[in-house]
Amino acid sequence: MLSKLNRMLKCISSYSVSPYSDPESETVFTPLVQPLVHQRDRRKQILLFGENGVGKTNWMDALANDIDKEYPYMFNESVHRFTVEPESILIPATDSCVFNQFTLVESIYYRKLSDSCSEFIMTHGYKFIPESSKDLIELGQCFPDVIINEIPKNDLVSDEIVEDSDLCIIMADYSEISTIRSVRYWIDKYNLPPSKTVICVNKCDVQIDSYPEDFRKRKCKYLQYYASLQYPIEMTSVKTRQNLHFLYKYI
């Protein structure tokens, strides 16, 4: 596993060129924005876990394209290809001016989330979702390159890789309670500490009409349980681009 990840990372480093040296000349560039340079010293490593089909690959692609801007990401619900090998993606250094600065309440107001999810958050959510101005990323903040590594279910990640990572994300699907329940599986399997793990509940755009109140309560119980263990929880939708940039609150 370690060698596979290393291979992928080598491959990534071969196509990204350091912005601080010019191989054609002796010129040494003086960086203009000091904080950005400082933070670029080391690429942040993120491990991304979660059941098949919760939206991991789509989120990585959407985030990369959102920041890159050259190739706008087009969401396509029918595209789901199983990830069988760990896959890595480089998210270029950026600053928060390009981020969506909506608060959760504003996202609900602008209908970025489905009615059922909005109602879920309004009735139960404030018990487990942090919602205050400090949770928003300040405008103008600079962030380094980030490498996100999607870990397929059958792969085993060593303690060393988990320790070396800067952040672990466990993704679940709002409309599939089994994926919320199995967050616990990932926590236990890889011993993921709350200090550097975020639970991301994706597909918050999905309208759930057919489920009874009981379903909401059970879902809420799981999320409250994780929150009581101090795991932060983020609600996202790749489809409506809701909260795509949440990872920058944690790195």
Give dist(CA 115, CA 108) in Å, integer.
Answer: 8
Smallest distance from ligand GDP to CB 18, Å: 30
> Which of ligand GDP, Mg ion, none interacts with 77 (beta carbon under 5 to 8 A by kind)?
ligand GDP
Tell me how far, at minimum, the Cβ of 121 lies from ligand GDP, in Å: 15
Question: From Mg ion, ligand GDP, none, which one binds at residue 80 (CB under 5 to 8 Å depending on kind)?
Answer: ligand GDP
* Ramachandran class of 69: left when φ > 0, alpha when ψ lies in -120 to 50, beta otherwise: left
8 Å CB contact between 63 and 88: no
The torsion angle over the Cα atoms of residues 201, 122, 118 and 249, rounded to 10 degrees, is -40
Does residue 155 belong to the site contacting Mg ion (CB under 5 A)?
A: no
- Asked if residue 134 lies in contact with residue 250, where contact means CB atoms within 8 angstroms, the answer is no
- Look-up: residue for tokens 């920041």? 67
Does residue number 224 form part of the binding site for Mg ion (CB under 5 A)?
A: no
211: its two tokens: 């489920």
Residue 87: CB minimum distance to ligand GDP, A: 9
Residue 6 contact partner, candidates ligand GDP, Mg ion, none, CB within 5 to 8 A by sort of partner = none
Q: 7: which DSSP letter?
A: H
Residue 57 in contact with Mg ion, rule: CB under 5 A: yes
> CB of residue 132 vs ligand GDP: minimum separation in angstroms?
24
Our CB check for Mg ion shows the closer of 61 and 95 to be 61
User: Residue 56 or residue 239: which is nearer to Mg ion going by CB?
Assistant: 56
Task: Report yes or no: 93 and 36 within 8 Å, Cβ to Cβ.
Answer: yes
What is the rounded CA–CA span in Å between residue 62 and residue 39? 23
Q: Which residue's C-beta sits nearest to ligand GDP?
A: 55
Using rule CB under 5 A, residue 83 touches Mg ion: yes
Choices 78-86, 104-112, 170-178, 198-206 (CB under 5 A): range interacting with Mg ion = 78-86
Cα distance from N-terminal residue to C-terminal residue, the chain: 24
Stretch that binds Mg ion, among 51-59, 103-111, 120-128, 136-144 (CB under 5 A): 51-59
Closest approach of ligand GDP to the CB of residue 19, in Å: 30
Among all residues, whose Cβ is closest to Mg ion? Answer: 83
241 binds, among Mg ion, ligand GDP, none (CB under 5 to 8 A by kind): none
| CA–CA separation, 25 and 201 (whole Å) | 48
DSSP H helical ranges for the chain: 2-15, 34-39, 56-68, 104-109, 115-123, 159-164, 177-181, 183-190, 213-228
Residues that bind ligand GDP (CB under 6 A): 50, 52-58, 77, 79-80, 83, 202-203, 205-206, 237-239
Residues at the site binding Mg ion, with contacts judged by CB under 5 A: 56-57, 83
